[in-house]
């Protein structure tokens, strides 16, 4: 039985096979393009390589759509044949993949947790677990998963950077920004191609309102970023947010057209990036032309098919902006259906938020507030980062503004400032922003004062 660089055993291959697998896995962890041919080449040479089959299944599932799960069935057939030679750890991975194929992703997360309890250096289980915990909105569990295995990892451990980058992002999502920055920077120092760690730092800059640093962080890597796969669109999205905060609308539109959503795509992250960025632009009065139509072309065949509910919220934005109200009903019907993936309350939360989004786009601002306001602190249950969830808060702020509920708008803006400004370390800046908001309330022209604030606070 062969071993990898962290001492884990593998069945159905020799040491050369393990080396090829680790090379392919690193390629995937760096979000490099065309990874599947590398896995297929390994399987052609080692048709009994258990973990290569498992990871091919995981890769298919990562498309983020229920319809993709059927592609895992032939792989499970191969793994059933190989289960007699698989070791205990590999059998657990086969069980997790079987759960995944059935849509029982939360059960798969529990299996990956069990794997990490016994084999804390299993990077495959760590990657699968942390990626899905994020999209299920389990931020604290995300941190706990990394923390519980951290004693097993040192800087001398092979692949430590991939562990550190994921730990850094998890820490950012629970507000531990200083520690998050420490781990993310270490990961990038060890491997400048670690896109997840680069992305983790972008989140730190966003949530600390360190706009200029965020722009420098991403633009200094612009040439490198073009080498990565579709995930890199999300890093460009972060750059667009920083540019938007400085009022550089033309730069934002160029990023959208060239890097974030250049053509119709059903890739779940592209859908999220595209919809949320267009809406942010519209909120500050920018005419985005026919770009919503491009987004609709991307999602129209996949309504209700997305695994992660956070994507479906963005599908609803696209459908509402294109006045496809029958399609929104179809989406809601899919969210009401019984699926092993999610708890019933999650579907209900999504339906309520979708109602708020649709109401806003119809110009019905009171029901928009009624739908969104009571559950605005429960958004994490539907996944997405703090930076991404912010778009729902903006729907609420603008609804309240259009209802002329000025004190409610001021309160919501102050909440947002408190999330994005290090009031404990940047007290003067925090107080200055609060005073700007208070001045809106006493302004003779509250409409103009609100518009002026949008670029500075929103």
How do residues 132-172 score in pLDDT, each as one tens digit? 998 888 889 999 999 999 999 999 999 999 999 999 999 99
- What confidence score (pLDDT) does residue 422 get? 65
* DSSP-based three-state secondary structure for 3: strand
Domains of the chain by range and CATH? Answer: 1-133 (1.25.40), 261-389 (no CATH), 409-457 (no CATH)
Q: Kindly report the average pLDDT of the chain as a whole number.
A: 92
**Which residues partner with 306 through β-bridges?**
65
- What confidence score (pLDDT) does residue 237 get? 98
- What confidence score (pLDDT) does residue 386 get? 87
- What confidence score (pLDDT) does residue 454 get? 72
Burial state string for 202-214 with b = 16 or more CB within 10 A and e = fewer than 16? bbbbbbbbbbeeb
Which of these, 158, 133, 156, lies nearest to 147 by C-alpha position? 133
- What confidence score (pLDDT) does residue 345 get? 78
- What confidence score (pLDDT) does residue 427 get? 74
- What confidence score (pLDDT) does residue 458 get? 45
Long-range contacts, 300-304 (Cβ 8 Å, 24+): 300/324, 300/327, 301/266, 302/65, 302/67, 302/266, 303/327, 303/330, 303/331, 303/334, 304/330, 304/331, 304/333, 304/334, 304/335
291's tokens: 């770009």
| CA atoms of 22 and 32, how far apart (whole Å) | 14
- What confidence score (pLDDT) does residue 408 get? 92
- What confidence score (pLDDT) does residue 451 get? 77
Long-range contacts, 249-255 (Cβ 8 Å, 24+): 249/281, 249/284, 249/286, 252/277, 252/281, 253/281, 253/286, 253/288
**Positions in the chain whose pLDDT score sits under 50:** 458
22-36 confidence digits (pLDDT tens): 999 999 999 999 989
* DSSP-based three-state secondary structure for 415: helix
């Amino acid at each position: 039985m062969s071993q990898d660089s962290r001492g884990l055993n593998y069945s159905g291959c020799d040491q050369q096979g393990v080396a090829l697998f680790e090379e392919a896995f690193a390629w995937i962890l760096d979000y490099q393009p065309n990874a599947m041919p590398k896995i297929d080449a390994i399987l052609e040479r080692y048709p009994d390589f258990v973990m290569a089959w498992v990871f091919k299944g995981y890769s298919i599932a990562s498309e983020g759509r229920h319809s993709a799960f059927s592609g895992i069935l032939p792989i499970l057939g191969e793994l059933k044949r190989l289960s007699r030679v698989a070791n205990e750890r590999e059998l657990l991975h086969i069980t997790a993949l079987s759960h995944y194929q059935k849509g029982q992703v939360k059960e798969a997360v529990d299996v990956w947790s069990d794997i990490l309890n016994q084999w804390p250096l299993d990077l495959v289980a760590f990657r699968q677990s942390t990626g899905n915990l994020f999209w299920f909105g389990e931020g604290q569990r995300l941190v706990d998963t990394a923390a519980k295995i951290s004693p097993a990892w040192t800087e001398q451990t092979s692949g430590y950077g991939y562990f550190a980058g994921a730990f850094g992002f998890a820490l950012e999502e629970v507000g531990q920004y200083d520690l998050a920055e420490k781990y993310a920077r270490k990961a990038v120092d060890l491997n400048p191609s670690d896109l997840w760690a680069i992305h983790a730092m972008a989140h730190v800059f966003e949530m600390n309102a360190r706009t200029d640093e965020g722009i420098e962080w991403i633009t200094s890597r612009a040439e490198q970023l073009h080498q990565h796969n579709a995930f890199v669109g999300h890093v460009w999205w972060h750059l667009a947010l920083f540019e938007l905060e400085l009022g550089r609308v033309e730069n934002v539109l160029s990023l959208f057209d060239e890097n974030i959503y250049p053509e119709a795509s059903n890739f779940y992250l592209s859908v999220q990036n595209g919809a949320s960025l267009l809406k942010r632009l519209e909120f500050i009065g920018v005419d985005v032309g026919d770009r919503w139509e491009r987004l609709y072309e991307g999602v129209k065949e996949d309504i209700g098919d997305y695994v992660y509910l956070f994507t479906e919220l963005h599908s609803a934005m696209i459908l509402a902006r294109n006045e496809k109200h029958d399609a929104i009903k179809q989406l809601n019907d899919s969210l009401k259906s019984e699926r092993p993936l999610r708890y019933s309350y999650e579907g209900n939360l999504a339906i309520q938020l979708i109602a708020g989004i649709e109401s806003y786009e119809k110009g019905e601002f009171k029901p928009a507030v009624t739908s969104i306001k009571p559950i605005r602190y429960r958004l994490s249950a539907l996944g997405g980062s703090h930076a991404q969830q912010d778009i729902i808060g903006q729907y609420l702020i603008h609804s309240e503004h259009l209802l002329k509920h000025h004190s409610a708008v001021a309160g919501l803006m102050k909440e947002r400032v408190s999330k994005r400004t290090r009031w404990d370390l940047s007290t003067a800046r925090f107080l200055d922003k609060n005073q700007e908001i208070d001045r809106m309330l006493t302004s003779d022209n509250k409409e103009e004062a609100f518009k002026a604030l949008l670029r500075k606070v929103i």
